[in-house]
Homo-oligomer: A and B are copies of this chain.
Amino acid sequence: MTTTLFKWTSDNVKNKQILLSKLPDGKLTADCFSVREVPVEAPSEGQILIKTLLLSQDAANRAWMQGATYRGALNHGDVMASYGIGEVLESSHASWNPGDLVMADIGWQEYALVDVREATPAPEHDGPLSHGLSLLGVAGLTAYHGLINVAGIHAGETLLISAAAGSVGSIVGQIGRMKGARVIGVAGGDEKCRWVETELGFDACLNYKSSAQSLRDQLQSAAPAGVDVYFDNTGGDILQAALFSMNLRGRVACCGAVSMYDGKPKPGPFGVPGLLVTKRLKMEGFIVSDYAHLDSDARHELSLWARQGDLKIIEDILDGLDNAPAGLIGLLAGENRGKRMIRVA
């Protein structure tokens, strides 16, 4: 049995889609994308038809163009992939009803057919829908699990975070402060760094683009006693500087490598594995779904912190599907502050 909100036919509604029409060779550019309109189709058995409300924009979207990761590679001609939140319009499955809010890999399109096995309910909460992608979505959960369950931060430790103004980094630092760590961010640009310090309350934020002082020297001044935990969103030169400043038995939570996504990846940092042996470091890669069994506890705590005013939720919402390409290109260049998303409807 199919339940429906409206009767869809290819005549009355079109689905605008943005395709990855060619794979980038080097930096991602707008001409990698193209727009088309196709008829909206009714769901087959085991599918739901959803209307896209919000799309998440993540550095990982660019990594998917490089090859298979924790998901299959994107190919040219595919609808550009993206997680997001949608509303069920029509369901062919008893577990979903029209009007339900759903999270899924929707892609850059106004309507999507999604396999019910790949859809999860949007988190229930009393805040705005966008919190489902920021505080309670991939950003908040990645920050929480990475810092608490992967790195195991302790009070009194020094915590370093790259992409500190980004969706994940901005939350990691605030949680780190609550847990009693000394928190040092890394971001691109002096103005952004001051914002991380004043708005997010980091103890310090270092500008890796500074022409005045190398990041390694800045780190030496900001963390003279060394770094205990490095939350790595970037890889590359920042990871390199971090490894040199790590203390004995330091931990590196490898969350992403945005410096390596948008262009040709470079060789990894110098001194791996020698530094790991000498300092007995642990580097561990993770993705948020590894800790899905702990999501409800994490969401409970994240919500509480936000309600108490201890955790600021920074969102950077662009309106309109047409802005998705420029939004992602800008995110890869570091122009966002907090969680960037596209409001589609």
Contact surface of A with B, Cβ cutoff 8 Å = 63, 69-70, 232, 235, 239, 252, 254-257, 260, 265-287, 290
Contacts and interface: CB of A to CB of B under 8 A. Distances in A.
Contact of A270 (B239, B255, B267, B287): B267
Given A265-B274, A267-B267, A282 B284 contact: yes
B286 A277 contact: yes
Contacts of A283: 272-273, 276, 282-284
Given A268-B267, A285-B279, A285-B281, A274 B290 contact: no
B239 A273 contact: yes
Given A277-B285, A280-B286, 13 more contacts: A69-B277, A69-B278, A235-B274, A257-B273, A257-B277, A266-B270, A267-B269, A268-B269, A268-B273, A273-B283, A273-B285, A280-B284, A280-B285
A265 B266 CA distance: 17
Contacts of A284: 276, 280-283
CB-based closest 10 A-B pairs: A276-B285, A268-B272, A254-B273, A277-B285, A268-B268, A267-B267, A69-B278, A254-B276, A282-B284, A257-B274
Nearest to A239: B273
Contacts of A281: 284-285
A272 B272 contact: yes
Given A267-B268, A268-B267, A268-B268, A278 B273 contact: no
Contacts of A239: 273
B285 A278 contact: yes
Contacts of A273: 232, 235, 239, 252, 254, 257, 268, 283, 285
Given A269-B267, A280-B290, A285-B280, A63 B257 contact: no
Contacts of A272: 235, 268-269, 272, 283
Contacts of A266: 270
Nearest to A234: B273
Most buried by B among A274, A280, A283: A274
Contacts of A275: 285
Contacts of A235: 272-274
A70 B278 contact: yes
Contact of A265 (B255, B270, B282, B287): B270
A277 B265 contact: no
A289 to B, nearest CB: 10
Which of A265, A275, A282, A284: most chain B Cβ within 10 A? A284
A172 B221 CA distance: 42
